[in-house]
Chain A
Amino acid sequence: MTNVRASVYVCASVCVGLALISATLDGQQAAPGRPGAPPPAPVIDLSGYWTGVLHEDAYERGAGNEIADYGGFALNEAGRLWALSYDPSRVTLRHHQCEGYVAPYQMRSTGNFRIWEDRDPRTQRLMAINVYGQTTEGLRTVWMDGRPHPPAWAPHTARGFSTGRFVGNALVVQTTHIKQGWVRRNGLPGSDQTTMTDFFLRNGDRITNVTVANDPVFFSEPQVRSNDFVRQPVDHGAWLYACDDGEQILDRAPDYVPHYLFGKQPFAREFAQKYSLPLAASLMGAASIYPELSAQLRTANAGADADALFSPAPGRPSETSRAVNAEPRDGQVHILPIRNNVYMLAGDGGNIVVQTGDQGAFVVDTGEGKLSDKVLAAIRTLTPKPIQFIANTSFHAEHTGGNATLGAAGQDPSLPGSFFVQSAPRGVTGFFADPLSHATMMGHNNVTVRMQATGAPASTVPADTYLEERRRKFHNGDAIELFHQPNASTDGDSLIHFRGADVIVAGDIFTTTQYPFIDTKNGGTIQGLVRALNAILDRTVFRHQGEGGTYVVPGHGYLSDEHEVVEYRDMAVIVRDRVKAMVDAGATLPQIQAARLTADYDTRYGANAGPWTTAMFVQAVYDTLKVLPGAK
């Protein structure tokens, strides 16, 4: 792991500096010290070369299943509709081409496996068991040293973060922080909220691995599957799975995402027809797993019931998110090191980013401002230097709420005696007049305009603004770029890229906690939001198999990379296309709302109460398509 580095997770409260846990950004935290702890006694030795035995589900693990072959999966409505919306052509998109397999599917993949132990060289204590799968070069490291799982705001990876222990004659593994991915390669989804327990049993030259995947977003009950591996006496000699993305289909619009509208999946009946099965059988979710299936199929009105499964059930209220809240709400501010000298601070509403160095700190966004004193305390654990610059990605309060406190705690030694100080218009951007007692605040000019319109105090409003597409600054040894994203969440959003650290701060353009906040009253549009998400993807470079590399800090939620952004972009495009199809057909907003066009995403992002509901999101999409069709 090239990004592995000692890092610090700080509870910045009255106990700032006391609670330290090592962490890495691959979702790993180094083991807490356990001096004198006896080494865990391995009950079974899994080490060696192994090959998956494909005597079950050969299609799934080989060429891939037909669309709608979902039998035996406890899909809920969201999972079923997500899968039926899937167009396999999606993997031709650049950012989908090299995606790795997520842990539940990795264990079912074809190809070679290797398992080995990591032991402390001095004590021979078992530290980790590594399970490496050739296909997509998937490495699962199962930590055996008692370390805790990372916090909810830490990054997810395809294989997730795993810890293990021996119970009886089994290795029992708990895995969290898994990315969204496939659980079958015909579009059957597994969400980023999946957690997994798996068991490794060994009998002679056979390993049986039992996976119990719990996905509250797309499944109605845990999915239990088993995978067999046969031991190979010698090295297979084939371990790699190189992948670089490229142009597979030319001249597509940048906002094109292959998918099918609800009820329009052209291959939905193919599987049942090909094998003479009842149409509904493979779409019945958990009912398809149990022996009662045949009896249920006898009593069901197979044709009508099956047709109803291709679209959202009418008349239901929208489902709400079943995701774990990735924003700490414990009244503390938590530091997550990202890379080099760049850190994410979570806990005070919107995420805050801090860059440190021999110059003053460069801070992006300041949170809600409810915990600003703790934010300052956290920053002071990272650098003794004052805050020199604050950049705002947006004028929204959860990103500017701490401007007053953090600004007042900073200073900008680059300004004294300069033209700016001599000529600054007092009363508007008054802090330029006394830069040794205030940080300089930056942002797109529309941030300043919007804040001034709300009557925000001058000391909280960015004075160092830009009007066009780009603002740049070299600070603390890194090139920092601000890119304006017109009419995205608002008309003043900026993406901020720390080029050396390769960290992009996205603000409200991208979150992992809710549907896109399209603030139409302040210039936001769905088209602009999609463009802004694509602008992030234009700058990201994955490290390996579609993950890692460029980190993306969401406005809210857990630290991400391009994989989360591309899934979010896909969602925005797909919902837009569905709304547009109904708008083009003459539907009214109430009709569109009743159609539940977000039914496959509501269990992940939906809300029926609070500041940003599903209905508000759909209306924002509708408004920018219907009311403002010419919006930029």
Chain B
Amino acid sequence: MRGSALLLITVLTGVVTSAQGRGGAPPGRAGGPPTAPPSPRAAALADLTGQWVSLVTEDWRYRMFTAPKGDTVSVPLNPNGQKAATAWDPARDEAAGEQCKAFGAAGVMRMPGRLRVTWHDDTTLKIETDAGTQTRLLRFGAPMAPGALSAPPGEAGSWQGVSLASWEYPRASVAARGVGPGPGTGPPPGGTMKVVTTQMRPGYLRRNGVPYSANAVMTEYFDRLEVPGGDTLLVVAAEVADPEYLGTPYWTSMQFKRQNDASGWNPTPCAAR
């Protein structure tokens, strides 16, 4: 009996909790006028904006230099991918005007360089890279199914492809808030930005021609971390799945350190070697 009562209370509490919106009253209830959900920019729990410098502390030789052709160590290529990697010809890329193949979305985040992250508008986060002078637009608000968003003109088939972004909140935050984030409620900030990128122009995971195809799907998780008494870091954990060239998804994680100024920003053109 006691257990049943507890269960009932628990269930009711859950119902009440889940019915609460931020600030207490859910949108469109309790007699108030309907309110629009906060924009992704307003809802952001993690401030990812600013200038960040890459810390090339892993895969150093592959990222700082161009490895020899066929050096594909640790990338889970399938036989097609291995074949394509050994056929790498930077002169051919230059002749074809494809010097940016290593600076597409699946490669550019691993380049030594700096990122400038800004809100392009309330629903689009923009990442500019000085390496290769590239721009990624991460659009919020659409379902996360690949291809569900109508790609803006020029993005589909581009080096940076089409990126759909969403906020992923810590479980405790969701539980405390009931439905999600909002100013002035819940626990301290901390949330992951998930980005799924599709429709990329075929490019390279590494500068030495390790390939990904137009069918590749890249899923990234962006986290801002505060080192106690130290730096602010941006960590990007990436997964590239490519049925054409990879046997299993390719997992990497990159770290960037936040700068307090704009020093070091040095836009450079793409280079094929």
Interface residues of A (CB under 8 A from B): 41-44, 53-59, 69, 71-73, 166-170, 172, 174, 197, 199, 201, 203, 206, 208, 210, 212, 214, 222-228, 230, 275-277, 281-282, 288-294
Tell me the interface secondary structure of chain A in the complex.
mixed
Given that A199-B225, A290-B53 are known contacts, is A228 also in contact with B253, CB under 8 Å in the complex?
yes
Among B46, B61, B67, B237, the residue within 8 A (CB) of A226 is: B237
Evaluate contact between A208 and B221: CB separation under 8 angstroms.
Answer: yes
Chain A residues with CB under 8 A of B74: 54-58
Among A53, A170, A228, A290, the residue within 8 A (CB) of B225 is: A170
A282 to B57, CA, bound (A): 11
Sample of 6 further A-B pairs with CB below 8 A, known A41-B172, A55-B75: A169-B171, A212-B231, A225-B255, A275-B67, A291-B130, A291-B131
Among B59, B189, B225, the residue within 8 A (CB) of A210 is: B225
Task: Name 20 interchain pairs, CB-CB below 8 A, sorted by A.
Answer: A43-B172, A44-B170, A55-B252, A56-B59, A58-B73, A58-B74, A72-B57, A73-B57, A168-B170, A169-B173, A170-B190, A201-B221, A201-B223, A208-B223, A210-B253, A224-B57, A227-B253, A275-B65, A291-B114, A292-B264
Evaluate contact between B223 and A170: CB separation under 8 angstroms.
Answer: yes
A168 to B174, CA, bound (A): 11
A75 to B53, CA, bound (A): 19
Instruction: Give the number of residue pairs across the A-B interface with Cβ within 8 Å.
Output: 159
Top-10 shortest CB links A-B:
A168-B190, A169-B170, A72-B60, A58-B74, A226-B253, A291-B112, A71-B60, A72-B57, A208-B237, A56-B58
Given that A58-B73, A291-B54 are known contacts, is A275 also in contact with B237, CB under 8 Å in the complex?
no
Chain A residues with CB under 8 A of B130: 291
B97 at interface by CB-CB < 8 Å: no
Give the residue among B61, B76, B131, B235 with the most A Cβ atoms within 10 A: B61
Evaluate contact between B253 and A289: CB separation under 8 angstroms.
Answer: no
B239 at interface by CB-CB < 8 Å: yes
Evaluate contact between A206 and B237: CB separation under 8 angstroms.
Answer: yes
Q: Which residue of B lies closest to A295 (CB)?
A: B266
Evaluate contact between A203 and B169: CB separation under 8 angstroms.
Answer: no
Interface string of B33-64 (1 = CB under 8 A from A): 00000000000011000000111111111001
Q: Which residue of A lies closest to B171 (CB)?
A: A43
Interface residues of B (CB under 8 A from A): 45-46, 53-61, 64-65, 67-68, 73-76, 112-114, 130-131, 168-173, 188-192, 194, 221, 223, 225-228, 230-231, 233, 235, 237, 239, 250-255, 257, 264, 266
Chain A residues with CB under 8 A of B46: 168
A44 to B191, CA, bound (A): 12
A199 to B68, CA, bound (A): 34
Chain A residues with CB under 8 A of B189: 168
Among B56, B59, B223, B255, the residue within 8 A (CB) of A169 is: B223
Chain B residues with CB under 8 A of A72: 56-58, 60, 64
Chain A residues with CB under 8 A of B53: 290-291
Among A53, A56, A69, A197, the residue within 8 A (CB) of B227 is: A197
Evaluate contact between B227 and A212: CB separation under 8 angstroms.
Answer: yes
Chain A residues with CB under 8 A of B253: 56, 208, 210, 226-228
Chain B residues with CB under 8 A of A55: 74-76, 250-252
A225 to B235, CA, bound (A): 10
Chain B residues with CB under 8 A of A167: 188, 190, 226
Chain A residues with CB under 8 A of B250: 55
